[in-house]
């Protein structure tokens, strides 16, 4: 009886340790992904700098939206209503 009780306690402790370890590992991978993402973002925004995806004109300021196909478009202020009408997600 005492032995069974001990085994239950021991397995609970092991589960807690494993759970904490799993969280630590997951946090690390998430942090790495965020760093990679921000690096990629900086690079890609330099490549297609300040050109509206709709009218192809150069704009001082672009608003970025996610498209239904999973891409990202940058639109100028005059094309913004057009993007909103297409119900794109504002980033
Ligand atoms: Zn435009």
> DSSP states of the chain as a string?
-HHHHHHHHHHHHHHHHHHHHHHHHHHHHHHHHHHHHHHHHHHHHHHTTTB-TTT--B-SS-EEEE-TTS-EEEE-TTTHHHHHHTTPEE-
| Neighbouring residues of the ion ligand 1, judged by CB less than 5 Å | 52, 54-55, 76, 79
**Contact assessment for residue 56 and residue 79, using Cβ atoms and an 8 Å cutoff:** no
Per-residue model confidence as pLDDT tens digits over 1-50: 788 999 999 999 999 989 888 888 877 777 777 666 666 655 454 444 68
Cut 0.85: pTM above it: no
Give me the residue spans of the domains in the chain: 1-47, 49-91
- Ligand 1: distance of its center to the CA of 1 in Å? 76
């Amino acid at each position: 009886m005492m032995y069974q009780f001990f085994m239950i306690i021991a397995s609970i402790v092991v589960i807690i340790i494993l759970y904490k370890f799993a969280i630590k590992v997951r946090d690390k991978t998430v942090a790495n992904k965020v760093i990679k993402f921000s690096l990629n973002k900086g690079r890609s925004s330099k490549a297609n700098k300040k050109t509206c995806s709709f009218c192809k004109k150069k704009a001082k300021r672009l608003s970025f939206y996610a498209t239904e196909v999973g891409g990202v478009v940058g639109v100028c202020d005059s094309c913004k209503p057009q993007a909103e009408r297409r119900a794109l997600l504002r980033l």
